[in-house]
Every structure is written in structure tokens, then in C-alpha cells.
């Protein structure tokens, strides 16, 4: 769920209320129907089943499917820790929309580190592992009964002051994840540095496939379009057999 909502007995807000659903609660969709409301506007209703077995109707605009979540390209520096079930976990969120997770598995008795991308739908932020976090309009982690630490009974800690981050999470260097892009511009200059004053290493043709290695905070405007300089692996070999890597502006790239 992307907002608090109600399960109704029929696809009508005037029908019997079965129960309420909380933000981030997961449900199974069994069917759907289009209904004309009192204002004469058509809206979609979903017949759902909760994990507890309750069934009923909810409005489509209150729920998010996996396809509704889009990859986060810009985020903030957050450190979140807590205890859930058998796991003591911590997340480090980075400004480029990636995260690093540290979790201690009590059963295996060892600490595990994982990295991934963040995805967002409205105020719900999800990790690739399926963890869900709700942020308010100001970007602060919302802490209510959904985010109570199983071990302490206190809300999960959400820290933005990097001086308070643990040592493993203090670095600003975000995880490097393999992301491939297709070049949308033609004869695009690949440069030695994130600047148009730097040397051109080669020109790439439209349709070339490149791997993103790093995204900088340095922007560049061409006409009415502004993008960030990104460091890429072109896949092209130089005379010594080394892969040419360099900088381009991401307005010429489309994610594969």
C-alpha cells in the first residue's frame, strides 16, 4: 500500500467496511473492475486478499504494483538500523539512489553485506530485497507502528548526520552497480575528464552500448537540456588492448 486505505465489501465507498490497511502492507490482487463513481468518473477497483486471509475491494490509486516503482536516481544520505525477526540489520542509503545493507544473521551467526538500487512510488522507497520504507513530504523517514524495532520496541533509527554513522557507513563512495545504457546521440565525445575542455578519447555512434561506472554531481547544459557527467566503460579497446573509459553527459544515454 502507498497510503492508508480501507477494504470494502463491494467496489463502492458506501458499502460495508471490512478493515483498514496500513501503508506498506502487502496484499494479493485477485481481480479488478471499472466502476463509475458518484461524480460520473470511471475508476478501477481491485479485489484483494490480505496476508491474513481477509478479502474485499480497494481503490486502485491506493496501491502500488511492482511495476509502479521506478528506479531512484537521486536520494539522500541516510543510515537506518533496527531489528526485525531473526535479523539485526542496517542500511546506508546514498545520494545516487543506491544502498548498502549490513545484516547479522543469528541463524548462520555471521554478518552479511549486500548492495542494490532503491526504487520509489510516491512516498514509499523499496530496496531490491523488498524492504519498504515510508518517507514523509520533507524526506524524513516516517516512524510509526510499522517501523518498530522488534528487539527494543523503539522506532527504527533514521540518521542523517554523517558524523553519527558507524565507520562502515561513513564513506560517501556509493556502491558501483553494473548498469548498461544505450547511446541516443550520434558522434558523442568521450572525454578524459568531466569537462568539455578535456581531451576527447573517442567518438561513439548512436546505439552504442556502454556500462555506467560512476555518476558525478557535475552538471552540463546543452540547449534546454541539463545532465550530469557520468564515467563509462565504452567496451572499445585501444591500441594496447585496454578498454577505453571516459566521461560523457547522461542526456545522451538511455537505460537499457
5-63 and 70-169 have identical folds: no
**DSSP-derived secondary structure for 23-76:** TT--EEEEEEEEEE-TTS-EEEEEEEEETTS-EEEEEGGG---GGG-EE-SS--
Average pLDDT over residues 86-99: 84
Q: What is the pLDDT of residue 236?
A: 93
Average pLDDT of every residue of the chain: 83
Domain 5-63 has CATH 2.30.30: yes
Q: Exposed, middle or buried, 249 (CB in 10 Å: 0-12/13-18/19+)?
A: buried
Q: What are 98's strand-pairing partners? A: 117
Q: What is the pLDDT of residue 144?
A: 40
Q: What is the pLDDT of residue 140?
A: 63
Q: What is the pLDDT of residue 17?
A: 93
Q: How far apart are CA 255 and CA 75, in angstroms?
A: 18
Going from N- to C-terminal start, the domains of the chain cover 5-63, 70-169, 179-255
Average pLDDT over residues 223-247: 91
Task: Classify domain 70-169 at the CATH topology level.
Answer: Lipocalin (2.40.128)
What is the model's pTM? 0.58
Q: How far apart are CA 195 and CA 199, in angstroms?
A: 9
Domain 179-255 has CATH 2.30.30.40: yes
Q: Lowest mean pLDDT of 13-17, 191-195, 215-219, name the range.
A: 215-219
Amino acid at each position: 500500500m502507498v497510503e492508508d486505505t480501507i477494504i470494502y465489501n463491494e467496489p463502492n465507498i458506501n458499502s460495508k467496511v471490512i478493515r483498514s490497511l496500513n501503508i506498506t502492507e502487502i496484499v494479493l490482487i485477485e481481480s479488478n473492475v471499472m466502476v463509475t463513481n458518484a461524480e460520473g468518473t470511471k475508476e478501477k477497483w481491485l479485489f484483494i486478499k490480505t496476508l491474513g486471509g481477509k478479502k474485499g475491494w480497494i481503490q486502485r490509486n491506493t496501491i502500488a504494483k511492482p511495476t509502479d516503482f521506478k528506479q531512484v536516481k537521486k536520494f539522500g544520505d541516510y543510515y537506518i538500523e533496527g531489528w526485525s525477526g531473526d535479523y539485526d540489520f542496517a542500511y546506508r542509503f546514498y545520494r545516487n539512489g543506491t544502498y548498502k545493507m549490513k545484516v547479522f544473521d543469528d541463524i548462520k551467526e555471521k554478518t552479511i553485506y549486500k548492495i542494490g538500487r532503491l526504487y520509489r512510488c510516491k512516498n514509499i522507497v523499496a530496496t531490491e530485497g523488498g524492504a519498504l520504507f515510508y518517507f514523509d513530504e520533507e524526506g524524513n523517514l516516517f516512524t510509526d507502528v510499522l517501523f518498530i524495532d522488534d528487539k527494543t520496541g523503539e522506532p527504527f533509527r533514521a540518521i542523517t548526520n554523517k558524523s553519527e554513522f558507524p565507520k562502515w557507513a561513513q564513506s560517501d563512495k556509493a556502491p558501483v552497480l553494473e548498469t548498461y545504457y544505450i547511446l541516443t546521440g550520434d558522434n558523442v565525445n568521450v572525454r578524459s575528464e568531466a569537462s568539455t575542455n578535456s581531451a576527447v578519447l573517442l567518438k561513439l555512434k548512436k546505439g552504442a552500448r556502454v556500462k555506467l561506472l560512476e555518476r558525478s554531481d557535475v552538471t552540463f547544459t546543452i540547449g534546454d537540456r541539463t545532465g550530469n557527467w557520468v564515467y563509462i566503460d565504452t567496451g572499445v579497446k585501444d591500441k594496447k588492448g585496454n578498454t577505453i573509459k571516459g566521461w560523457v553527459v547522461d542526456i545522451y544515454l538511455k537505460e537499457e
